[in-house]
Structure 1
């Protein structure tokens, strides 16, 4: 009996010894995940993943057209038929008359404001002439007075608005007070001194008094932008000055439903408030009172915002709303049934009119359709929201999934582990989607999903038997990227090097052949192959052998390389600059040989940038590569393209110049490249200090004087120096580039606030 009892205990001890580390790590990961759900820990990565999943759920929602809401679009067709925007107010007057008199719409919301009087008719000029130069001709004054009504476009628009349910738009502002606002929904006095936690703007850009006084109301078309630049919420109520005003969507639907009052719903018992309710000042909803028996509630969160439930991808082809061109409305070409009794929003989708927003479903989403989505949610009474017990449910799911997988993955084989992990992630995704689509409940799914992935990875790593063979294979693979002498150095201590991802300050290089398309068209396939092989071989030898760089990849005729990894190089920037200058010299020698063969001329552009980058083995399960990623890498690529603009062979960023001060540089410009908001200084390296001849140094000094004059807007002084420099070196395109800029600035003065920055809109 005793022997039989000892046997199970012995097996248990062996099992615990074999799987104890896996179980301990699994439970630790589970506890960390639960702590994040309960807000004891915070991870921006998980927040971003939750935002991604939320956007994915929006994109998976089925899309059905809602005939109750129509967008009258000032699109390319409208601009072509009516003329450039903004239109004269008499056009808007005709548009309103058509919508109500011909099409009998229910309400119109303008996603446009009119902050200044319309002087396009020229009546003011005629009136002035009649009182001055033509004052001695009484018949002129009488004729001008008779034309007042026909040329008073604001008056025509105001007359069209009179007595009709038309809501105009306005924008809250920090420092402007343009136009007038209607009476607010309520003030602090109306709320018995209670203040809502609403976005507060002291000023506004609204509509001129003549229009606003005849309109039925006004609504803000401001939206809330998250840290990642995407619009997920709208300010339903905003405080402007001392009053609280509705959004454009709220004001428009209120006119459609003939709402008697709009007021916040306060939760009196503070102890029972959720975090979102406390953030909203004890308000969990805005109530629209239609009658004593009919009320609409709109849930709000922090800052009196409400979540936008996007339908489809947006726009005339991918959204949930019918679009009609404003040109067709003006011409009466729209079928009457399309617009009868509908809620009409007038907005723009033409790219040049700048009303496209970045959203989770589309980076260029029509701003007017954001308001349409809010109106649709109010009409349906359905809003995506987190349930009152969301945190409790999420914690329970994390604990259940974490403990179950920890126990299971520690004892099953590799294939079973994959199956369990996939099933667990699929099950979590299906449950989340079911709650979202059937019950309008939003749960944060990033933590449990990543917990499953983390548990699987931990078990896979601990179960994967790799020691010397793994390290040796790693070093062998590095031989594809770095010089042989570096591989030998790494082989002495393979544990010190790996291809795992890490962040490190490095210098990246991008090289490209100028006019390669023309070159390829002018050579036979055989000659082109030899041409590109000779070029890539020479460039690769300069990178790997001369200055011990890491050759990243070939991208057609382009070359990408970096310095500072895998072997740490404190002088990585200096190595990169020296390599770039050497490559230009090598290209010159190659070009002499190419020209002798009758081949096209070889010219290359090189971009260098230094900064923090992600370096490591990246890619797919099928193929990976040791490479670098990050903003600093993207900037290096942009700098290579910029060499063509400035007519130089090498262009480096300010960080590279600072990290390699032993070289002489010519500052080229301050630029704002595509994808970045902050301007950066760019430079051309000329050679090491002491190796650059005196004439070149003198020319660089004179150039910097000219550049200073340009930034100070002393056009004549800059022009004189540039003309002098161009006479000495007429083939240098940089001088002509700035001479052309000076001529443009003379005709288009940049003003006192000019920062001297050149913005590139393309890559």
Structure 2
């Protein structure tokens, strides 16, 4: 009974904490609390979905005439003289016959670069008594009044000018605004009826009245970034002093569609009123409660043809690219500060944002973020949360993880499909994070409940591995605690004391035991320090491996480091052995890397966590042949390839006892970064000598090995090859000789 009550208590506590997590997400969705993390993740998830669903389809009907670096370099820095801008507009309409021009630039100040105001002042004051000057000035005035020339260039042409609203605290009023699309009364009625949250500007920087009066319309080019500084939406309608003004893209769409009015499209159901879109005739443009619309990015910069403004001025542009096209005049030059961070690029031209919006309006492919999405988010969170709270405690961790991952993948896929097919945006991050949070909490709770069992299992591994790895296994939830056998690429080490029988005969059993402890303890410590697992001690021999129970992608490197450190440490303890009157100890070490079986193996009476396989047998054979070459450390060719950061001396190409397939064997020397010039020279000469030997160039090989043996008389290896060469000079090998040396003993 107490056990049932204890289990009920545990499940009740788990459910209570899970409900608290769900409550936090519901509170955020209803607006009761605000979590910056969730808001940021939602924006990031939108960006990811947008990038995955972009069409990357280019549009030729809309063209961007670019005030680029080339134009500024050839014509001069901005602002250009208005006479140049006038000539550019005339070229676009008269020579290239474009359909409509949207200007993503504001002309807020008069152009006095011609000097006309100064000459007019002179004519009024200092030179007023010189009739010839006044006459000349009157004849020159039409050519020097650059603003009037631009106004004349705008007149009777389909041009939409751009301007900017100011949202700062101080009031700015420069230039003349176009007529609003909704007056104060209509705006107030819309706010009252639909609950619109308008973006209210404090001021504006618009075009000079001379220009505004000579164009068919104008639109603001404001882009307002989200809380993370990324531009995703553009206000279609912006409020100023209680009136609504259209954006540049909306003004151009209205002209192109020949629709004189902008209307609100609403959803009304059960007393619920909400503006879902604005309407241009039959064309609907989805907006949010602030009358902003999502920019339907098609891809990175370059979805529209770009033509340098200077090429239009000089007539070098291809007429086919511009005839009957919709044109935006804007800039990509960095110095003109119209580059924006967007979901598709950190630096994106503002003019292409407006071109993208216009294309989306004309194609009817603006994404919609409907008002009812908030209600759907709450329902979805409740459903997901309650279902997971009920079922997660039932399943084991693997099933729970797979189920959670599959549901997350399905939700993401479904959201993507809705976005692609219906152009609808629904919240995603909150639901995914709720699922992940509930999963992690339940798995963590289960982990805490089962800590005792896992610690017991870790204690079992502690018989084989160092304490540091036991601790790592205990803290790693992804570690597979099964001790069943599996095949894995690993590295195995064998080491053995040379002449142990002779050493043991000269010592008492007690002294022999003390000596072995003094030898095995530092060797074991080095193996543990480099993530090795002790398999067993076999008298004076040590067997260890790397790559299990924890996987180790650098198992070969760790094993070689261990072997070199063991030899180094052995030299250090020899002096202590000498003081105790013990004989010096020499060891041989063999390493082999490859696939092997690892796990709990044995009989019903005794089990051991060990490794088996041909790779293991090869490691044992390599340790046995170290003395044949007068070296302390031999590794296989696979080990050499798996740890390329070390320098090796190739010893031979051999066929060990019990193996038919020959293997190349090597002696590890040191890290490549620790090598000396003399060592490199020796290894190069040795490599050359081996090549000559295997090509049966006996005389040259003999000369090379003789040189090596003379310079390094302590190396037994070079004497071995000189003896073989002398034998082969007297007894020519058969035609099938492949340079392999076969060992007939272990």
1:450 and 2:450 equivalent?
no
Residues 397-412 of structure 1 mapped to structure 2, 5 A cutoff: 397-412=380-395
User: What corresponds to 1:96 in structure 2?
Assistant: 89
User: What corresponds to 1:213 in structure 2?
Assistant: 213
User: What corresponds to 2:315 in structure 1?
Assistant: 332
What is the Cα deviation at residue 54 of structure 1? Answer: 0.9
Go from structure 1 to structure 2 and tell me whether the alpha carbon gap of 1:202 and 1:459 turns closer, same or farther (over 3 Å shift): closer
Preserved CA contact (<8 Å) 2:163 2:206: yes
User: What corresponds to 1:54 in structure 2?
Assistant: 46
What is the Cα deviation at residue 67 of structure 1? Answer: 1.6
Preserved CA contact (<8 Å) 2:156 2:214: yes
User: What corresponds to 2:327 in structure 1?
Assistant: 344
Residues 362-381 of structure 1 mapped to structure 2, 5 A cutoff: 362-381=345-364
| Corresponding residue SS for 1:463 | helix
Residues 83-122 of structure 1 mapped to structure 2, 5 A cutoff: 83-122=76-115
1:178 and 2:165 equivalent?
no
Go from structure 1 to structure 2 and tell me whether the alpha carbon gap of 1:344 and 1:181 turns closer, same or farther (over 3 Å shift): same
Hey, what's the Cα distance between the residues in 1 that align with 2:370 and 2:324? 35
1:524-573 Cα deviation digits (max 9, x unpaired): xxxxxxxxxxxxxxxxxxxxxxxxxxxxxxxxxxxxxxxxxxxxxxxxxx
| Corresponding residue SS for 1:224 | coil
| Corresponding residue SS for 2:312 | helix
Residues 600-619 of structure 1 mapped to structure 2, 5 A cutoff: none
Preserved CA contact (<8 Å) 2:187 2:243: no
Hey, what's the Cα distance between the residues in 2 that align with 1:175 and 1:304? 23
Hey, what's the Cα distance between the residues in 1 that align with 2:406 and 2:268? 45
1:436 and 2:448 equivalent?
no
Preserved CA contact (<8 Å) 2:328 2:351: yes
Hey, what's the Cα distance between the residues in 2 that align with 1:445 and 1:345? 35
1:33 and 2:25 equivalent?
yes
Preserved CA contact (<8 Å) 2:288 2:370: no
Hey, what's the Cα distance between the residues in 1 that align with 2:163 and 2:411? 43
Mean CA deviation greater in 68-77 or 329-338: 329-338
Hey, what's the Cα distance between the residues in 2 that align with 1:357 and 1:300? 21
Hey, what's the Cα distance between the residues in 2 that align with 1:199 and 1:28? 36
Mean CA deviation greater in 446-455 or 182-191: 182-191
User: What corresponds to 2:63 in structure 1?
Assistant: 70
What is the Cα deviation at residue 321 of structure 1? Answer: 1.9
1:629-659 Cα deviation digits (max 9, x unpaired): xxxxxxxxxxxxxxxxxxxxxxxxxxxxxxx
Go from structure 1 to structure 2 and tell me whether the alpha carbon gap of 1:390 and 1:101 turns closer, same or farther (over 3 Å shift): same
What is the Cα deviation at residue 108 of structure 1? Answer: 0.8
Hey, what's the Cα distance between the residues in 2 that align with 1:53 and 1:267? 27
Go from structure 1 to structure 2 and tell me whether the alpha carbon gap of 1:235 and 1:192 turns closer, same or farther (over 3 Å shift): closer
User: What corresponds to 1:664 in structure 2?
Assistant: none
Go from structure 1 to structure 2 and tell me whether the alpha carbon gap of 1:260 and 1:434 turns closer, same or farther (over 3 Å shift): same
User: What corresponds to 1:252 in structure 2?
Assistant: 252
1:426 and 2:426 equivalent?
no
Normalising by structure 1, we get a TM-score of 0.54
Question: Which structure has the larger Rg?
Answer: 2
Go from structure 1 to structure 2 and tell me whether the alpha carbon gap of 1:76 and 1:287 turns closer, same or farther (over 3 Å shift): same
Preserved CA contact (<8 Å) 2:30 2:378: yes
Hey, what's the Cα distance between the residues in 2 that align with 1:272 and 1:215? 41
| Corresponding residue SS for 2:306 | strand
Hey, what's the Cα distance between the residues in 2 that align with 1:284 and 1:379? 18
Which sections of structure 1, spanning at least 5 residues, go unmatched? 1-8, 278-282, 290-294, 474-497, 499-763
1:157 and 2:155 equivalent?
no
User: What corresponds to 2:288 in structure 1?
Assistant: 301
Hey, what's the Cα distance between the residues in 2 that align with 1:100 and 1:19? 76
Go from structure 1 to structure 2 and tell me whether the alpha carbon gap of 1:134 and 1:40 turns closer, same or farther (over 3 Å shift): closer
Preserved CA contact (<8 Å) 2:287 2:368: no
Go from structure 1 to structure 2 and tell me whether the alpha carbon gap of 1:50 and 1:191 turns closer, same or farther (over 3 Å shift): closer
User: What corresponds to 2:234 in structure 1?
Assistant: 234
What is the Cα deviation at residue 463 of structure 1? Answer: 3.0
1:666-705 Cα deviation digits (max 9, x unpaired): xxxxxxxxxxxxxxxxxxxxxxxxxxxxxxxxxxxxxxxx
Go from structure 1 to structure 2 and tell me whether the alpha carbon gap of 1:441 and 1:264 turns closer, same or farther (over 3 Å shift): closer
User: What corresponds to 2:262 in structure 1?
Assistant: 262
Go from structure 1 to structure 2 and tell me whether the alpha carbon gap of 1:25 and 1:66 turns closer, same or farther (over 3 Å shift): same
Residues 464-475 of structure 1 mapped to structure 2, 5 A cutoff: 464=447, 465-466=450-451
| Corresponding residue SS for 1:361 | coil
User: What corresponds to 1:168 in structure 2?
Assistant: 161
1:459 and 2:426 equivalent?
no
Hey, what's the Cα distance between the residues in 2 that align with 1:324 and 1:242? 39
User: What corresponds to 1:383 in structure 2?
Assistant: 366
| Corresponding residue SS for 2:179 | coil
Go from structure 1 to structure 2 and tell me whether the alpha carbon gap of 1:191 and 1:35 turns closer, same or farther (over 3 Å shift): closer
User: What corresponds to 1:145 in structure 2?
Assistant: 138
What is the Cα deviation at residue 450 of structure 1? Answer: 0.9
What is the Cα deviation at residue 182 of structure 1? Answer: 2.6
1:476-511 Cα deviation digits (max 9, x unpaired): xxxxxxxxxxxxxxxxxxxxxx9xxxxxxxxxxxxx
User: What corresponds to 2:299 in structure 1?
Assistant: 312
Preserved CA contact (<8 Å) 1:23 1:410: no
